[in-house]
Structure 1
Amino acid sequence: MRAGLACLLYFLLCLVGLQSEEVRAKVVYVKVVNLQDLTSKPVYVGQRIRVQYNLMLFSQAKFLGAELENLPDPKELKRLNFTPNWVASGTDSYSTTYNYKVLGTKAVIPALKVSAFVQDQDYLDKSSAPAIPLQVVDLSAHPNYVGVVATNFSVTGYKVKEYDTTHNILVFELQAKGANLEDFKIPGEFKQGFEGSHSGTDNVSGVYYCILPKSMQSLSFNYFSLQEAQFKELHFSLIPIEESVSTQSNLKPKNNLLLFSNIFLMGLLLVVIVCYFLTSYKNTALVVAILLMGVLLWNVLSTYRTGVLRANATIKILPTQNSTLLLIPKQALHVKIIGEHAKYYKIMTDDEKIGWVRKEDVE
């Protein structure tokens, strides 16, 4: 009898303890605000996603911190912010956003564990938001896909110029929002890459170049629009155009002012020669004719300046510090100087390759 009463008393004490723990479990609570979107909508390899958390505190608990229960698989998911700030969004309420980049089709957002402390009860409590498996779609099978998913994506300008005897160079500026622009690559076996890029909180931009065979008359590629949930195509004409200031120029650029001045000098020289035969001022006409001939020859022979490019100097595609290298000659080269910009000369080598070098590297 006594043993039965003791068991009953022990059961009642355990029940009271469990009820007490159940009440204490409500001191801190965390949830994923955008859980419905993350579980019901597909995401894409390369896409940047946000996981928004909301934290509630009770019984004057103090928030201690948060941590992922497991690190994400680095082949499937990449963390973009490692120490996100929890911002007060009301009385005893906090919110934050974890940013990730999806890398594989088996990506899972790790569970998040938060903790809080009630000082007068000397009680530490924890709560967890569950792990979230993602519905990932791989778009790489599309034959003309450049690897970019974006909310907004646009080309703000582009230029096509002659690069050498067999290639043209295409340079264009990209602007995008919510995009993985760092993954941009046009399908094809040709030299390409970024000349510069800028990343903001959500907006990114960059200057991209491609060196393409002259046999290509057009170029097109596709990115994936997150707004429209479909591929969008961009198209370029690859017919070179002339411009006053350009990335590259024709192999033998024409100086219109010099051309017109030479025509004027030739006309003036012809008039002086006529005067030599038809007037009595033969000596004067002869002196003027010699001077005009000298100026004309100077203009013709000095169309290009020449110089010697020192060995191991860098020849770049664009006149910028971080531009892609075109060539590093092991020996000094005789070059023609066909233009300049800021601290750079535009030069042409004997094999008719055009590039930019620092002025200090040319003697």
Structure 2
Amino acid sequence: MIKALLIALIFITSLFANKVIYLSYDEIPTRVIKGEIFPVTYKTLSTVKNFDDVLYEFSNHQGVKILDEAPQRVQKGKYYFDTFHMQATQKQAKLPDIEAFLMAPHDYNSTTLQGLNLNVITLNPGENFSNVIANSFTIQEYKTTVYDDTHNIVIFVASAQNADLNEIRFKHVYKQGLESISGNYKEGKIIYFVIIDKKIENFSFSYFNLLKNDYALVTIPIIVNDDSVTTQSDLRPRDQSHDTIKMYTAAAVAFLGFILVLVRRKYFYLIFIVIPLIYIIYLAIPQKKVCIKEGTPLYLLPVENSTVFETTQTQYHLTKEGQVRNFIKVKLKNNKIGWVKNEDTCSY
């Protein structure tokens, strides 16, 4: 009996004698919101000096996405304080088990810290919630143009801190989409579009501000204009529906100028003839047509990876409305505007 106790004591002592790395939690959140990105900080201590780095491996996590491949490290004396950022993806969530080991010339025993269950809460937002949970969300640019007879398209550029911008979504819009995204969860930037009813005067939505622990309202005033969107694209075509009336009006002004020249005998009045005639010639020039191949994707904006809202089922000859770099703007038969790549055009 005594011999068995001595053997057990020697075995336990040898285990502690060989342990060269200690791992514990330093900071963990008391509660997180589903969808929130949060930090977890581990405290690591090595009892040996001859090592290059402390490495970690995660396993057995549930309802949690690990966002960092390497930790943000702060060293204080012999201690490493390593912070990993994670995102709660489910209401039932558990932190991963984490194994810490030394990168060193000699093999040492590793140590494992068991993951803890998280207290996850789910938001109950209003209908205007954008599904964004962030430290901040800021509109940098926005533009509104006509989409069709009953809708406007709003395109905005926004930046956010500590947010997953891939999750942005809006309710009660006709159509929406992510045009581009850059950066990361720490500092991200998106170009996003929504197509809304023309009756809407302000496009308002909310996001959850983690620093204020409350919803924050964002409002984009709807000011329809015809100039370029963020990518120099004019989404509104030239309106030819009143060209005949415009031509008759210009001709009347030119005729009046002709009468004034005959009566007053002053060449100054020639301006009332020349300018209307130039305008009539401009209106009389037919808009160019472009041949579009079958199966051509029609893009919402003239940018790479833009949203494809329609694909041609056959070869079309459409009105060319303009051109930006390697994109051509065309007017569809339903009066909507789309963009096609130069490579998708064909010869007559």
State the TM-score, normalized to the length of structure 2. 0.80
Q: What's the CA shift for 1:353?
A: 0.8
Matches within 5 A, 1:23-172: 23-25=17-19, 27-35=20-28, 38=29, 40=30, 42-60=31-49, 62=51, 65-68=55-58, 70-73=59-62, 76-81=63-68, 83-84=69-70, 89=75, 93-115=79-101, 124-139=108-123, 141-172=125-156
Matches within 5 A, 1:1-363: 7-8=1-2, 11-12=5-6, 14-15=8-9, 18-19=12-13, 21-25=15-19, 27-35=20-28, 38=29, 40=30, 42-60=31-49, 62=51, 65-68=55-58, 70-73=59-62, 76-81=63-68, 83-84=69-70, 89=75, 93-115=79-101, 124-139=108-123, 141-188=125-172, 190-200=174-184, 202-238=186-222, 240-246=223-229, 247-253=233-239, 267=253, 270-272=256-258, 275=261, 295-302=278-285, 304-359=287-342, 361=345
Q: Distance in 2 between matches of 1:244 and 1:325?
A: 22
Describe the SS at the equivalent of 2:130. strand
CA deviations 1:155-183 (Å, max 9, x no partner) are 11211111111211111111100011110
- Root-mean-square deviation over aligned CA pairs: 3.7
Q: Distance in 2 between matches of 1:118 and 1:163?
A: 62
Describe the SS at the equivalent of 2:301. coil
Q: What's the CA shift for 1:137?
A: 1.3
| Equivalent pair of 1:29/1:56 in contact (CA under 8 Å) | yes
Q: Which amino acid aligns with 1:89?
A: Q
Q: Distance in 1 between matches of 2:72 and 2:275?
A: 79
CA deviations 1:89-143 (Å, max 9, x no partner) are 3665444333322100111102212245999xx9843323231211111125543
Q: Distance in 1 between matches of 2:208 and 2:21?
A: 40
Q: What's the CA shift for 1:342?
A: 2.2
Give the share of equivalent positions with the same residue, in percent. Answer: 19
| 1:3 aligned residue | none
Count of aligned positions: 332
| 1:4 aligned residue | none
State the TM-score, normalized to the length of structure 1. 0.77
Q: Distance in 2 between matches of 1:167 and 1:248?
A: 16
Q: What's the CA shift for 1:219?
A: 2.6
Q: Distance in 1 between matches of 2:154 and 2:10?
A: 76
Q: Which amino acid aligns with 2:56?
A: A
Q: What's the CA shift for 1:296?
A: 4.9
Q: Which runs of 5+ in 2 are unaligned?
A: 241-245
Mark the CA change 1:13 to 1:229 in structure 2 (over 3 Å): closer, same or farther.
same
Mark the CA change 1:275 to 1:113 in structure 2 (over 3 Å): closer, same or farther.
closer
Mark the CA change 1:94 to 1:252 in structure 2 (over 3 Å): closer, same or farther.
same
| Equivalent pair of 1:161/1:168 in contact (CA under 8 Å) | yes
Q: What's the CA shift for 1:303?
A: 6.6
Q: Distance in 2 between matches of 1:103 and 1:253?
A: 49
Q: What's the CA shift for 1:236?
A: 2.9
Mark the CA change 1:228 to 1:9 in structure 2 (over 3 Å): closer, same or farther.
same
Q: Distance in 2 between matches of 1:224 and 1:190?
A: 24
Q: Which moved more, 1:343-352 or 1:227-236?
A: 343-352
Mark the CA change 1:274 to 1:221 in structure 2 (over 3 Å): closer, same or farther.
closer
Describe the SS at the equivalent of 2:109. strand
Q: Which runs of 5+ in 1 are unaligned?
A: 1-6, 255-259, 280-284
Q: Which amino acid aligns with 1:28?
A: I
Q: What's the CA shift for 1:270?
A: 3.9
| Equivalent pair of 2:250/2:276 in contact (CA under 8 Å) | no
| Structure having the higher Rg | 1
Describe the SS at the equivalent of 2:92. coil
| Equivalent pair of 2:42/2:83 in contact (CA under 8 Å) | yes
| Equivalent pair of 2:227/2:234 in contact (CA under 8 Å) | no
Describe the SS at the equivalent of 1:182. helix
CA deviations 1:225-277 (Å, max 9, x no partner) are 00000111112333x422432344445459xxxxx999888755543455468
Q: Distance in 2 between matches of 1:312 and 1:88?
A: 55
Mark the CA change 1:153 to 1:189 in structure 2 (over 3 Å): closer, same or farther.
closer
